[in-house]
Amino acid sequence: MVVRRRPIKVNEAISRVMAFAKAGPVEHVPIEQSYGRFLGEDLIADHHVPPFDRSPYDGFAIRSIDTAEGSRTNPIVLQVVGEIGAGSVFSETVLENQAVRIMTGAQIPDGCDAVVMLEVVKEVMIDNKPHIVLKRKVKENDNISFAGEDTKKGTIITKKGTYINPGVVAVLATFGYKYVPVSVKPKVGIIATGSELLEVDEPLQPGKIRNSNAYMIYSQVVRAGAVPIYFGQFCDDLDTCFDQVQDALEKVDILITTGGVSVGDYDFLPAIYEKLAANVLFNKIAMRPGSVTTVAEKAGKLLFGLSGNPSACYVGFELYTRPIIRQYINAFHPFLKKEKAILGKDFAKANPFDRFVRGRLSFQDGKLIATPVGLDKSNVVSSLAEANVLIVLPGGTRGYKQGMEVAILLLEDQEGTTLDAFVNTEINSRRSSRHVE
Amino acid sequence: MVVRRRPIKVNEAISRVMAFAKAGPVEHVPIEQSYGRFLGEDLIADHHVPPFDRSPYDGFAIRSIDTAEGSRTNPIVLQVVGEIGAGSVFSETVLENQAVRIMTGAQIPDGCDAVVMLEVVKEVMIDNKPHIVLKRKVKENDNISFAGEDTKKGTIITKKGTYINPGVVAVLATFGYKYVPVSVKPKVGIIATGSELLEVDEPLQPGKIRNSNAYMIYSQVVRAGAVPIYFGQFCDDLDTCFDQVQDALEKVDILITTGGVSVGDYDFLPAIYEKLAANVLFNKIAMRPGSVTTVAEKAGKLLFGLSGNPSACYVGFELYTRPIIRQYINAFHPFLKKEKAILGKDFAKANPFDRFVRGRLSFQDGKLIATPVGLDKSNVVSSLAEANVLIVLPGGTRGYKQGMEVAILLLEDQEGTTLDAFVNTEINSRRSSRHVE
């Protein structure tokens, strides 16, 4: 018999799932391995950057007062009394009409208050001693990088939850983090179900298809910032399946199954959730694709029952599983980045439910254009390869026209959106998109 | 003595470097490890997708002709003569007024030309035999996913040089690629120079700073798609340095040094290039930061002499080293993605040279806004952490105003730009930016 399920709204589904979100622990990794991770603690500057007043160029450190009368017609001559390599310190104080050769990054010697670049002086020997000739006046503080002008001691340099890009790595090195506190990646188990599935290296057979969902989800898990563990394909026997799920659940923080959640007789997951005594948060969402996405919870661990259809599986993961992973790794903005764009092509099909259409984002003259890619059937694999956004088309009775303003979700972005910003928009409202002139 | 160097334009520098670009070989990796790599060969579909006509839903396969007279007042009754699980095949031909229960993904049985969803029929028993009652007319081909409608056999599914995202992984699995041909990542050596440098775990000393460039570049190399090898910091003795460079060069495809390329007496690299008999492509570029960026070539291998200043080092890598890495891994678009944006904040400083200003991209109402971050001194580390674009400000005598249209380079993007699209824009022209109303 058909079990009629009551669909809930996307935002309601998100809110039920996020009620079980938790933050994972922190581990320390060598700085070389920190790129692409999320910072597990606030980093506070333990010293000024630069730590001392220094020269940003190769040149001569001077006393600006000595140049007060300098001009094209009145060249100033200063005696070069020493030189400072980067990393060295000049031990004396520089006196009237003296200069010190200084390398990029070296500390400004006592007595000096400016640097002149190599290119603007002439080096000459007078009485066998090196001198420079300068045909201009130099202002106090010219060409000096001051202690703390980049970062002051005690400031929070980078916040917990920051995505570690190469610039953040530079900051970490500057402050001596040979080992970096990063959020532990959750372990995400993947089980594929479906008697129609062949393993990736099996030859095709009548009525069967190769299992693409497991590998797709595997990559989505990596992209989201977690560690995937593939447990293989289910057998067709309920008891064995149950044992596999129970066993996998013990080994992971989050468990994903693909397939087996629709209302067909061969779909085991509802029975398994029952046998597990898991708390089913919902089993139907008013969205396409992915309406059969089911999420259950057992002892604080979430089980994501994603659809067996590739696109539905893909969308279900990005909307519901990704934020749980990103919350676990303490990311500031656990949801996909949500922005506005102009629809690049008509999307004629009407649908009473909210649609998440695979699309490709391009930029035209400084504007975001999102264009649906391929067919929008939930079993279409090839258009997933081209997609870098999901176009959010709220349910309604008419289709959408090129030029309308739509919300988009950026799939390859690391920055994300907060829960509030994600749900407090037009996703679930009808016909809120307006036409852009 | 000061060696006067003749600066060349950015585009000229790019063209001299790219003359030595080469494409690397292909290797095969397990599909689980293919995410984030670049495809090393075109992939051609060896079968239709779907491979057979199938049902996209759980429902009943029927003959549409049997429903021609169906309506609310004239319900059609069909006998259910069997069922097909996904992966099974129905061996008989379906006859007049018969239907077959069919699961999502299962092959449409002979005789049938449409599927009705479970939800629109009523299941009843008549003479102890299962029947369905249908109160509507069904059109031929309704709810059928046709063989090849996703991808036709023989089409190029995904091209060599494609970035492998989760959707591409799904395609690879669909076509049976348990092992995926990907471009080999080049080995990129990194050597840091500068007697002012402390290792990341050393305590601060007067006049010295911690080495941040090596770790920053290490991460940039990973982001660009290569394998970094850090050879450590140089000593201060020219002969030892020379041996280190020569030794490192043998172990890598590309060698990066940071520091040691400006005109100071302590800067060894020019002497090392000479001793190596390397072909110096240029040693000065009309740009800020990074004007001292030097590139040399020895027996077909490129040596990138990046500045010791963090921002100059960062920009030099992204403009000149990254495209060489991306070309090696056969990426379609080896250059940073270049787009137009609106300047979010005044940038008052004038400069005779083209500037690449660290900026942060945001989207406002479907438009790209790029805002300079932090101070724009070339030794500033903390603003690098916030930057996700470089704002291209062509040289000129005046500053730039908020609201002007500027070119930007996207640092976190995987898509990139071709050489032509990269250089055939306003980077090197003066004052080409115009004000946007």
Mean of the pLDDT values across residues B124-143?
Answer: 95
Q: Is B210 within 8 Å of A368 when comparing Cβ atoms?
A: no
CA distance linking residue A425 with residue A420, whole number of Å = 9
**Cβ neighbours of residue A239 closer than 8 Å, sequence gap 6 or more:** none
Which of A151, A154, A130, A124 lies closest to A42, judged by CA? A154
Q: Is B371 part of the contact surface with chain A (CB cutoff 8 Å)?
A: no
**Cβ neighbours of residue A298 closer than 8 Å, sequence gap 6 or more:** A249, A276, A277, A278, A279
B193: phi then psi, degrees, rounded to nearest 5: -125, 160
- Residues of chain A in contact with residue B123, where contact means CB-CB under 8 angstroms, are 1-2
Which of A6, A379, A410 to mutate to test binding with chain B, by most B CBs within 10 Å of its CB?
Answer: A379
pLDDT tens track, chain A, 437 positions: 345 688 999 999 999 999 999 999 999 999 999 999 999 999 888 889 888 999 988 899 999 999 999 999 999 999 999 999 877 889 999 999 999 999 888 899 999 999 999 989 999 999 999 999 999 999 999 999 999 888 889 988 889 999 999 999 999 999 999 999 999 999 999 999 887 889 999 998 888 888 999 999 999 999 999 999 999 988 667 888 899 999 999 999 999 999 887 665 567 899 999 999 999 999 999 999 999 999 999 999 999 999 988 999 999 999 999 999 999 999 999 999 999 999 999 998 877 889 999 999 999 989 999 999 975 555 567 788 999 999 999 988 788 999 999 999 999 999 899 999 898 765 433 344 444 33
A365: phi then psi, degrees, rounded to nearest 5: 50, 45
Q: Is A105 within 8 Å of B379 when comparing Cβ atoms?
A: yes
Superfamily assignment of A59-134 in CATH? Molybdopterin biosynthesis moea protein, domain 3. (2.170.190.11)
- The pLDDT value recorded for residue A428 is 36
Who wins on pLDDT, B61 or A381? B61
Chain B (219-248) residues lying within 8 Å, Cβ to Cβ, of chain A: 219-220, 222-223, 228, 230
Q: Is B32 within 8 Å of A118 when comparing Cβ atoms?
A: no
Who wins on pLDDT, B53 or B105? B53
Shortest CA distance from A101: residue in chain B? B264
Query: Per CATH, the architecture of A28-48+155-183 is what?
Result: Alpha-Beta Complex (3.90)
CA distance linking residue B83 with residue B55, whole number of Å = 13
Shortest CA distance from B219: residue in chain A? A166
CA distance linking residue A214 with residue B166, whole number of Å = 10
Q: Is A382 within 8 Å of B157 when comparing Cβ atoms?
A: yes
A322: phi then psi, degrees, rounded to nearest 5: -55, -50
Give me the residue from B166, B219, B405 closest to A223, CB to CB. B166
- Residues of chain A in contact with residue B1, where contact means CB-CB under 8 angstroms, are 123
Q: How far is CA B140 from CA A312, A340, B48, B66, in A?
A: 25, 39, 22, 11
Class of the domain covering A10-24+184-328: alpha beta
- For chain B, give the percent of residues with pLDDT over 90: 70
ipTM over 0.90: no
CA distance linking residue B14 with residue B11, whole number of Å = 5
Shortest CA distance from A338: residue in chain B? B363
When pLDDT is cut at 50, 70 and 90, the band that residue B50 belongs to is confident
- The pLDDT value recorded for residue B375 is 59
Mean of the pLDDT values across residues B254-259?
Answer: 95
The CATH number of B10-25+184-328 is which of 3.40.1440.10, 3.40.980.10, 3.40.50.2000, 2.60.120.10?
Answer: 3.40.980.10
Which of B4, B103, B179, B433 to mutate to test binding with chain A, by most A CBs within 10 Å of its CB?
Answer: B103
- For chain B, give the percent of residues with pLDDT over 70: 93
Q: Is A365 within 8 Å of B51 when comparing Cβ atoms?
A: no
The hierarchical CATH code for the domain B337-428 is: 2.40.340.10
- Residues of chain A in contact with residue B169, where contact means CB-CB under 8 angstroms, are 212, 215-216, 218-219
Helix (H) and strand (E) counts in chain B: 9, 24
Give the mean pLDDT of chain B: 90
- The pLDDT value recorded for residue A260 is 81
Shortest CA distance from A266: residue in chain B? B85
**Cβ neighbours of residue A364 closer than 8 Å, sequence gap 6 or more:** none
- Residues of chain B in contact with residue A194, where contact means CB-CB under 8 angstroms, are 86-87, 105
**Cβ neighbours of residue A380 closer than 8 Å, sequence gap 6 or more:** A310, A311, A374, B150
When pLDDT is cut at 50, 70 and 90, the band that residue B430 belongs to is very low
Shortest CA distance from A5: residue in chain B? B119
Q: Is A218 within 8 Å of B32 when comparing Cβ atoms?
A: yes
Q: Where do the CATH 2.40.340.10 domains begin and end in chain B? A: 337-428
- The pLDDT value recorded for residue B227 is 98
Identity of the residue numbered B37: R
